[in-house]
Every structure is written in structure tokens, then in C-alpha cells.
Amino acid sequence: MLEALTGLGLSASAGLNAYIPLLALGLLDRYTGLVDLPHSWQWLSNGWVLAILIVLLAIEVVADKVPMVDHVNDVVHTVIRPTAGGLSFGAASGAKTEMVTDPGKFFGSHQWVPIAVGALIALCVHGFKATARPVINVSTLGFGAPIASTIEDVFSTAMSLVAIVLPVLIVVFVAALVAFFVWVRRRRRRRRAEKAALRAARSGVPETTLRLPVDPGTRLGR
């Protein structure tokens, strides 16, 4: 069960930033004893792979903080983040950590399951992120983009480390993510209602008149 929570945290983290959880697994496996990747995932701790991930992370960090460019970046990462989520969950499901000393039993021989689940989780988080960013950009005239991106990077890093070191706390992180996206969704609906009211006021037609359905019986009576 703990490896499932670790994979959940890492794949959700990949939905915010594709490269942070992969770097966390690779660096901790290479330089510490906190992670021991299985043989099939040892390539994650290869020096060249880590160097490439660092370069890609640097590009992602810069691009995601520029208004409009962040939208293009989200479109490009629609495939990359789910792929990273699947890789993160797959690697974590067979890795030894401080909390998981006997990995692999939860998923058994079905090793494709954690990869598929991780990709789906990362895709969902990515979708929420890509939906929330335009709302933040519009409501702050673009000034909120670097702030929101920095918070996402910090949150992704913290969630990756917690998923590896203390996976039971991942439930708290996931709950925080859900609460944030619910808040963004409500704010988006409120902004749409405000825009509809403004358009109605400019046209001189009350908003209630625009929304009231026409009674067929009344129309026939006339």
C-alpha cells in the first residue's frame, strides 16, 4: 500500500512539473540511500539522463513563468507530463525506500498497471493545472503567472520528497490539490456569471430576463 501512495504522490507531482519527480528518484538513488531503484529503472540515475532532466527542468521553470508562453508550455506538456507520471509511478512501485522495504507485492506481476495509473493521475492534475492557469493570469493581468508557477514548483518538489520519505502524508497533499482546484473552478464560474451580468447591463436587458425560460402554455395563450 505504501508504494501505491509513493507512486500517487510522484505521479501527481509530475502533473505539475514533469521533471521534478524523475529527478528526485534519480538523484536520491544515485547519491543517497533513501531510494534503491530496481534494475530495470536504474537508467533514471544515469549521469547523462540526470543532466538532460536538469536542462529540461530549467527550460520548464522559465517557460512556465511567462504569461502566454506558459499556455504553450502546457499544451506541449499534455503528453510529456502523463508520460513522466507513468514512469514515476512505475519506478516507485518497484523501488526500495525508507518506508517500503519489500516493494512489488502490491501490484504483483502486472507492472503495466502502475505505469497506466500514474499516467492517468498526472494527466488529471495537468488538466486541472492547464485550466487554472488562464484564470489566474486573467484575474491578475499576468502578474500571477510567475507566482503561481513558483508555488507549483515548490509544491511539486515537496510532494515528491514526501512521497518517498513519508508517503502516508501524501493524502494531505492530494487533498490540498483538490481543494485548490475546486476553488479555481468556483472562481471561474463566478467570473463567467459576472461577465454575463455585465453584457446584460450593457445591452439594457435584465439578466433574469435572459435566463428565464419561455412557457409554451403562455405562448399558446397569446
Judge whether residue 14 has pLDDT over 60. yes
pLDDT one-digit tens code per residue, 135-180: 788 878 878 889 989 999 999 999 999 998 888 888 888 888 888 7
Task: Concatenate the DSSP letters of all residues of 104-162 into one string.
Answer: TTTTTT-THHHHHHHHHHHHHHHHHHHHHHHHHHHHTTTTHHHHHHHHHHHHHHHHHHH
pLDDT category of residue 90 using cuts at 50, 70 and 90: confident
CA nearest to 36, candidates 96, 102, 98, 101: 96
CA nearest to 6, candidates 162, 124, 216, 135: 162
pLDDT category of residue 102 using cuts at 50, 70 and 90: low
Rounded CA gap, 47 and 62, in Å? 23
Beta bridge partners of 35: 97
Q: pTM for the whole thing?
A: 0.79
